[in-house]
Amino acid sequence: MSLVKLINNGSEQLLLEHDSKKYRLDPDGGELVIDENVAKHWVGDWTLKKEEDVIKEQKRLSRLHANYPREEIAIKVVPLVEEKRTVKESFAESKKDVVNPFLDVPGEKEFEDLEKIVKKDKPVKKGKSSK
């Protein structure tokens, strides 16, 4: 599944529906990231090479959109490229989640006193119990 970004550079909002799911593309630079096949359904297949196929696609779009094309809607399609990262890179870039910014997480130095106390304690000698 590849994704594309639709950008509406026009002055009119675009409301679309695909597979019972509604999408809204706001005017003046509104962006929407969707599946490439859904975008091709709405704006046409931009990968077609043959003139016959392009004409068929234009006819399909004219039936799909009653007022297509309108000057108030100017859609730009930008394909998105997925970057592959190794597991090492993803771990290196991961950030620690802050649970509570007002709570200080104890460091190793906070337990130094505990280690001194434990070291001072002598092990308990096990003796024979009398009955």
Q: What is the pLDDT of residues 67-112, one digit of tens each?
A: 555 666 677 888 888 777 777 777 666 666 666 767 666 666 666 6
Phi/psi of residue 3, nearest 5 degrees: -110, 150
Distance CA 31, CA 39 (A): 12
Domains in the chain, number: 1
Q: How far is CA 15 from the centre of its chain?
A: 22
Check residues 34 and 91 and name the one with the higher pLDDT. 34
**Is 124 part of any domain?**
no
> To which residue do tokens 């799909």 refer?
64
**Is 46 part of any domain?**
yes
Domain that holds residue 72: 3-79
For residues 23-43, average pLDDT: 87
**Is 69 part of any domain?**
yes
Q: Place 53 in a pLDDT band, splitting at 50, 70 and 90.
A: very high
